[in-house]
Structure 1
Amino acid sequence: MSKVIVVYIGCLLIAIHTQIRAQSTTIVMADSLAGVGNYSKAIKAYKTLPALSPLTALKIARAYKALGNSSAALDYYSQCVASNPDWVIATTEYAKLLINQRQFTLADSIFRQLTRRYPNNPDFYYQHGRILKTVGPQQYIDKGDTLVVRAKDAFAKAVSLDSTHQKAMYQLGLTYLKKQQYDKVEQLGNTALKTDATNVEILSLLAISYYTKGWNSEAIFYFEKLIALGQSTPYIHTRLARAYAKQGDYEKSIAQFAKVIQEEDKDPGIHLELARVYQRSGDYLKGIRHSEIALVLQSQPIDDTYYTLATLFKLNKEFQKAVTHYQLALQENPERIDAHYGIAVAADNYYKDKKEVLVLYEEFVAAFKDQTDVRNSYYVRLAQQRIDILTKEIFMAGTKD
């Protein structure tokens, strides 16, 4: 080898070594900046590197996420995962951020793959459950079979793999609570508290479960524990006040209602409840005072409030709640034809059995067919049109069978 070539190679190695040292210095500096929260300068430093490695892309993504720039963070997470799809840490962080940004389709795809590749990882099932809780049950094709996966299934799987996974236990407990499976709520909650006795979400589940069942002593215990942990909210104080009242401890009930009124003094329902507690305790003058306050606050017709709320629920596709609030409006004003019609329409969107819906429309028309008011007769015409359509649909469905 000639002396010229040797010198050339030596210079080349020195240059490479110098470049590597410079890059290493830049990375160390950028890491230090990110470590102390100087994320913008860290990002600038990372971007001066000549090549974007998967690790650097991940660091930039994390820095953007810390700054709250989720769009840029997702872009760099995507680059990182694309260049190294087997990097589970980066993939998981990417998918979690997708959930937070409500990009559920892609997040669902990623966590389904992760649960298949790592079937014993409880958090992957928990994260998948978070998605399913929002988007609803999903159908997947697996080896030719159609599987329906629900949020409850995912949370239950996470808990079965890790009996200390507090977040999964809370979400599973919520599903039990909604289905009024109180024994399961309490069993799950007591298990969770063995790991973290101050988990306010679990304590809330237990408090509400016992309160709904009417086990007032147990409900009081958990509501008081929540307050001791700093969870002082009108919701908690109201239910604690009711539980004390049912136990006959009127002094403590009054004290809790007083705390609620400090936050919500314009709520007529709270004043009325407090008035009734004063009545039971024998303090009639204070009971009269709060009854009068409730009456003043309720001086405006409240059927319109219920009707407006019902219509908003209907527009938001929460049809069961819509039906409930139309019924409440009718309790206040039975003559509201729009609320009667609203019940039928909400049920039409909610009930699977269209024969039941048909009966509601028919009862509506029968009750209001003689209305001469233009607005009211309009509702009757709409109902009759829907009756005609439903009758045909039900008949056609019957002929197919």
Structure 2
Amino acid sequence: MQRIRLVFLVFLASNLNAQKPRIGIADSLYATGSYAKAINAYASLGTTSAGLQIARAYRAIGNYEKALLQYETIVKESPALQIASFELGKLLLKVKDYDVARKLFSKLVAINNQNPEYHYYLGEVYRELEQPASSLVAYKNAIEIDSTHLRSLFQLGKYFTIKQERDTALRYVDTGLRFYEKDVSLINLKALIYYNDGRFEKAIPWLEKVLALGEQKEYVYEKLAHSYYKEWEFESAKETYTELLKFNDSNSDYYYALAETYRKNKQMDSAALFIRKGMDIQRPVLAKGFMALSVLAREKDDLKLALDYLQLAVKEDPNDGMLFFRLCTLIDRYYKDPDLKLKYFESYIARFGTKVPYFSMMAKKRISELNEEIHYAKESTD
């Protein structure tokens, strides 16, 4: 009996030694990206670990269907092998099979409740299933186990940012930044929290950090430029809007924003130049440009030119009640004829009714005043 046992052990050792070179070859093929050859090499080994590598190779080449089948086989044959179930769950999440992924991650959490990754991915599944309450519980469980779990902290910060719960959002974001102060996602989120809250002075340094860390994205420049403008940092705003135009020089809004920055900085000629550039791009929709030119003309006390531009704006967009009301008020200011003024205000009420209660109230008040003025003017001539 001992002789038989000895022969078996010798055979087993010999077989393992023979497999070592083949495992090394398969691992080398996998590591260098020769996945098809690696799959064939692993298939000849017939071990569970080799099967797991086959699943990974299929996933690497994008053959998710075969990867799923391979993972499912391993999970069925080796249910205690958590790594296979974990990788299968992540792949199910990737292919959007959320309900099956939820069941799998829930099972993993039940098996090992102290693994923060299991809780995090369960949260991701619930988020995709649009079950925010359950996803929040999962993310919070992850950071309770591992207070440095940045992805869970980010998701919690993001959720409360969207909900405009600033203080709660900042608490999660700041917790993450204490562990890794250069995390771009968290820095970006902190900038967004302040920006959305209208705290542009606080948003600026965080937006600047995002750019400094290499996130040279259009939306970052757009928010930074607007923040500079709101904080009256006009030179910085102009520079940033100029950079923004390098991303998209066909966006008329950027030209108008740059023009508004020059206007605020009392550089009227430059403002007019960028308004016209915006109008050239925006053609044939020019109402916004004519409106901006009208504002510039009014600031120069050239009411006639302002009126001309405003009439062009109304012509371009006759259904814009705000534009028409502005035209009424400018005509009221420029002309002396009360009958002409009355005509325009009555036209506003007839066309736009009570769409904007404040404008309608002002128009009706002015109509009453003009009728009274016309009435007394007639009495004085009788």
TM-based fold match above 0.5: yes
Q: CA deviation at 1:9?
A: 11
Measured against aligned partners, the alpha-carbon deviations of 1:207-230 in whole angstroms (never above 9, x if no partner) come to 011111122221001000111101
Query: Which of 254, 272, 284 is residue 238 of structure 2 equivalent to?
Result: 254
Which has the higher mean CA deviation after the structures are superposed, 30-39 or 120-129? 30-39
Letter in 2 for 1:121: N
Partner in structure 1 of residue 125 of structure 2: 131
2:166 counterpart of 1:170: no
CA distance in 2, matches of 1:87, 1:211: 46
* TM-score of the superposed pair, with normalisation by structure 1: 0.67
Structure 1 unaligned regions, length at least 5: 139-148, 304-330, 336-366, 368-401
Q: CA deviation at 1:20?
A: 4.6
Measured against aligned partners, the alpha-carbon deviations of 1:314-345 in whole angstroms (never above 9, x if no partner) come to xxxxxxxxxxxxxxxxx99479xxxxxxxxxx
Query: Which of 122, 125, 131 is residue 116 of structure 2 equivalent to?
Result: 122
CA distance in 2, matches of 1:113, 1:67: 28
Residues 247 and 10 (structure 1 numbering): CA distance in 2 closer, same or farther, change over 3 Å?
Answer: closer
2:202 counterpart of 1:218: yes
Letter in 2 for 1:77: Y
Letter in 2 for 1:41: K
CA distance in 2, matches of 1:11, 1:302: 92
Query: Which of 86, 91, 95 is residue 89 of structure 2 equivalent to?
Result: 95
CA distance in 2, matches of 1:55, 1:282: 72
Q: CA deviation at 1:14?
A: 7.5
Whether the 8 Å contact between 1:136 and 1:150 is mirrored in structure 2 is: no
Residues 241 and 11 (structure 1 numbering): CA distance in 2 closer, same or farther, change over 3 Å?
Answer: closer
2:24 counterpart of 1:39: no
Whether the 8 Å contact between 1:271 and 1:293 is mirrored in structure 2 is: yes
Partner in structure 1 of residue 139 of structure 2: 155
Q: CA deviation at 1:254?
A: 0.4
Counting only pairs closer than 5 Å after superposition, residues 2-401 of structure 1 correspond to structure 2 as 19-49=15-45, 52-137=46-131, 149-301=133-285, 333=319
Residues 225 and 15 (structure 1 numbering): CA distance in 2 closer, same or farther, change over 3 Å?
Answer: closer
Letter in 2 for 1:44: N
Q: CA deviation at 1:302?
A: 9.7
Residues 16 and 285 (structure 1 numbering): CA distance in 2 closer, same or farther, change over 3 Å?
Answer: same
* TM-score of the superposed pair, with normalisation by structure 2: 0.70
Whether the 8 Å contact between 1:302 and 1:332 is mirrored in structure 2 is: no
CA distance in 1, matches of 2:134, 2:284: 44
Letter in 1 for 2:82: V
Structure 2 unaligned regions, length at least 5: 288-316, 322-353, 355-382
Letter in 2 for 1:26: R
Letter in 2 for 1:34: Y
- Specify the SS of the correspondent of 1:150: helix
Measured against aligned partners, the alpha-carbon deviations of 1:112-143 in whole angstroms (never above 9, x if no partner) come to 111222222221111011111112129xxxxx
- Specify the SS of the correspondent of 2:147: coil
Identity of aligned residues (%): 28
Measured against aligned partners, the alpha-carbon deviations of 1:169-213 in whole angstroms (never above 9, x if no partner) come to 111111100110111121211111111111110001100111111
Which has the higher mean CA deviation after the structures are superposed, 40-49 or 80-89? 40-49
Residues 332 and 102 (structure 1 numbering): CA distance in 2 closer, same or farther, change over 3 Å?
Answer: farther
CA distance in 2, matches of 1:12, 1:224: 68
- Specify the SS of the correspondent of 2:108: helix
Report the number of matched residues: 292
Partner in structure 2 of residue 142 of structure 1: none
Whether the 8 Å contact between 1:55 and 1:80 is mirrored in structure 2 is: no
Which has the higher mean CA deviation after the structures are superposed, 110-119 or 223-232? 110-119
CA distance in 2, matches of 1:210, 1:332: 38
Measured against aligned partners, the alpha-carbon deviations of 1:36-60 in whole angstroms (never above 9, x if no partner) come to 43332221111123xx332221011
Whether the 8 Å contact between 2:43 and 2:51 is mirrored in structure 1 is: no
Letter in 2 for 1:245: Y
- Specify the SS of the correspondent of 1:232: coil
Letter in 2 for 1:43: I
Letter in 2 for 1:281: N
- Specify the SS of the correspondent of 1:197: coil
Q: CA deviation at 1:10?
A: 10
Partner in structure 2 of residue 349 of structure 1: none
Which has the higher mean CA deviation after the structures are superposed, 95-104 or 11-20? 11-20
Measured against aligned partners, the alpha-carbon deviations of 1:344-384 in whole angstroms (never above 9, x if no partner) come to xxxxxxxxxxxxxxxxxxxxxxx9xxxxxxxxxxxxxxxxx
CA distance in 2, matches of 1:243, 1:77: 50
Residues 84 and 289 (structure 1 numbering): CA distance in 2 closer, same or farther, change over 3 Å?
Answer: same
Which has the higher mean CA deviation after the structures are superposed, 153-162 or 168-177? 153-162
CA distance in 2, matches of 1:113, 1:60: 24
CA distance in 2, matches of 1:252, 1:59: 53
Whether the 8 Å contact between 1:204 and 1:222 is mirrored in structure 2 is: yes
